[in-house]
Amino acid sequence: MRLTIVAATGGIGRHLVEQAVAGGHDVTAVARRPRELPGGVRTVAVDLTRPDMRALAAAVRGADAVLSALGPRNPRADAGITSRGTRAIVAAMQAEQVRRIVIVSAAPVGPVPVPGRPTPPRHDPGDGFFMRYLGVPLTRAMFGRHYADLAVTEQTLRDSGLEWTVSRPPKLTDKPLTGRYRTAWNRNIRGGFSVSRADVAHHMLAMVNRPDTIEQVVGIAN
């Protein structure tokens, strides 16, 4: 498949590129500093905080799917980057008639209200007592602006008319790829407190060719 991977030098993005190349896919990697990427992939330099729409359109042109690992390096300081960048990606895909996109979000996002979804459930149905009353309130107190931006990002996809899938992992780790993880549609994973970036990348790639994941939010955890 021809895959365009956005934020290809980030924690999940690097794994996406590595695994996609190992799987024999034709990869175009989009990054602010693509020189940091290994050889063997086509690279396009795009700063998603101030996207060059011509370059972004060229990067997605002819792709079978786009995978976005876009997110802030500092969730407290850089909130807003993901929604702005995703709007640019969606616009480029619409202009180039590319339909399939898989993005990474985060487990605490489900109950965050947005204009298109002003009254979400109070709690994610997959969260147990600890996460509902301790874990989620704590993480939102620390990174509330970031999660609000991810909620807007997800709404952008819902409104896009594209064939989208959202991956919602909990705490990300740098443990190695296992290929063993739990998933659930439209809910978080009960007792799932972490997952490796490598396993998130593995699952994002696996979902590209799964029609049953289109217009679905998928929780993932070890």
6: domain CATH number is 3.40.50.720
Q: How far apart are CA 12 and CA 198, in angstroms?
A: 7
Cα 193 off chain centre by: 18
At residue 135, the 3 state secondary structure works out as: helix
Global pTM value:
0.89
Low-confidence ranges of the chain (pLDDT < 70): 74-78, 110-117, 119-123, 125-144
What are the φ/ψ torsions at residue 24 (nearest 5 degrees)? 85, 15
Q: Which pLDDT score is estimated for 130?
A: 47
Q: Which pLDDT score is estimated for 138?
A: 55
Q: Which pLDDT score is estimated for 128?
A: 57
Distances (CA, A) of 178 to 118, 181, 198, 202, 203: 38, 8, 8, 9, 11
> What's the structural domain count of the chain?
1
Domain ranges, residue 86? 2-221
Q: Which pLDDT score is estimated for 115?
A: 67
Q: Which pLDDT score is estimated for 73?
A: 74
How confident is the model over 20-35, as pLDDT tens digits?
999 999 999 999 988 8
Q: Which pLDDT score is estimated for 208?
A: 98
